[in-house]
Amino acid sequence: MDSPEQRIKIAVQKTGRLTDHSVELLERCGLTLTKSKDQLIYYGENMPIDLLLVRDDDIPGLVSEDICDLGIVGLNVVEEKRLNLEAGGNAGLFKQIYELDFGHCRLALAAPEGTEYSGPESLEKSRIATSYIGILSNYLNKNNIDAETVYFSGAVEIAPKLGRADFICDLVSTGSTLKANGLTEVEVLLESEAVVIQTQAPLGADKQALVDKILQRLDGVLQVRESKYIMLHAPRSGNDEKVAVHAVCRETVFWETLENLKAAGASSLLVLPVEKMLA
């Protein structure tokens, strides 16, 4: 058994929107996990990698304090923590941000329908409710706007109805929550998705090699997600001979594409999902 210091600790969200995807991605990288009874740690069986299941807000702190080597968390949470730490005089806390292409959302400003909005200057002297004080304040500073930030830990979208704010600054994906609360999106502050962050502390050669391997596998997993392997017989120009063509397509292959290929003389068309890819 490896000593605990030699095992890689990855912080992932315990229960929430990122949990299933985060665990699934690591499993697709070949990691087999035993889930402990209390479900606070998942132990890696076939690699010296363990997952710590925590609240997403704690993940950047765990990584910056070197309690975990890696973390999987929304860029929105990373940015908020980074700005808060920088405001406290700390800088350069996470390394190697790697985008995972899930958990897509945006941190946006919204206002009750009918509110006049003609750009950031419309925020002047307004009250804006948010859980993202750091990102919002940074945005207001950059735009030289004097506005009041009102902290809400959750249910930010009800702040205007409560008379506590004129605008809100919150995460949006489909916009249905905004709509249900009579709000319209007016500005996007940050486009977010789940990312991998790594501690600034040196990991040691063995651990770093394993981290690199995992990142390379993640790359492979992400690349093949939509990829298809296409096989077909294509006619040579000038004679009746056919050649076998094998190709990888990085996106969904539509029936129309196959029909067009067939119309152009291709036969025996086959489209297969790609399971693994190593460039």
Contact string 80-109 vs Zn ion (x = CB under 5 A): ------------------------------
Span interacting with ligand ATP, options 14-22, 87-95, 143-151, 195-203, rule CB under 6 A: 14-22
Structural contact between residues 67 and 9, judged by C-beta atoms closer than 8 angstroms: yes
Structural contact between residues 78 and 70, judged by C-beta atoms closer than 8 angstroms: no
Q: Give all strands (DSSP E) within the chain, no chain letters.
A: 8-13, 33-35, 41-44, 49-54, 70-74, 94-99, 105-112, 127-130, 148-151, 167-172, 183-192, 194-199, 228-235, 242-249, 267-273
Span interacting with Zn ion, options 49-57, 83-91, 182-190, 191-199, rule CB under 5 A: 49-57
Q: How far is the CB of 74 from Zn ion (least distance, A)?
A: 9
Q: How far is the CB of 81 from ligand ATP (least distance, A)?
A: 11
Verify binding: residue 230, ligand ATP, rule CB under 6 A. Answer: no
C-beta of 4 vs 154, nearer to Zn ion:
154
* List 55, 179, 213, 276, residue binding ligand ATP (CB under 6 A): 55
- Residue 54 CA: distances (Å) to CA of 37, 148, 163, 218: 15, 31, 34, 21
Strands 183-192, 105-112: pairing is antiparallel
- Residue 246 CA: distances (Å) to CA of 27, 221, 243, 253: 29, 20, 10, 14
Order across the sheet with 242-249: list the strands. 242-249, 228-235, 267-273
C-beta of 8 vs 77, nearer to ligand ATP:
77
Q: Which of 102, 50, 60, 87 is nearest to 198 (CA)?
A: 60
Verify binding: residue 50, Zn ion, rule CB under 5 A. Answer: no
- How far is 83 from 142, CA to CA, in rounded Å? 13
Q: What is the size of the binding site for Zn ion (CB under 5 A)? A: 2
Element (H, E) at 76: helix 75-87
The full length of the chain comes to 279
Span interacting with ligand ATP, options 11-19, 38-46, 183-191, 198-206, rule CB under 6 A: 11-19
- How far is 56 from 65, CA to CA, in rounded Å? 15
Verify binding: residue 56, Zn ion, rule CB under 5 A. Answer: yes
Distance of CA 272 to the CA centre of its chain: 27
* List 22, 64, 76, 130, residue binding ligand ATP (CB under 6 A): 76
* List 103, 134, 160, 220, residue binding ligand ATP (CB under 6 A): 103
C-beta of 111 vs 168, nearer to Zn ion:
168
Verify binding: residue 185, ligand ATP, rule CB under 6 A. Answer: no
* List 6, 16, 65, 121, residue binding ligand ATP (CB under 6 A): 16
Q: How far is the CB of 65 from ligand ATP (least distance, A)?
A: 18
Q: Which residue ranges make up the site for Zn ion (CB under 5 A)? A: 56-57
Q: Which residue ranges make up the site for ligand ATP (CB under 6 A)? A: 13, 16-18, 55-57, 74, 76-77, 103, 105, 171, 173, 192
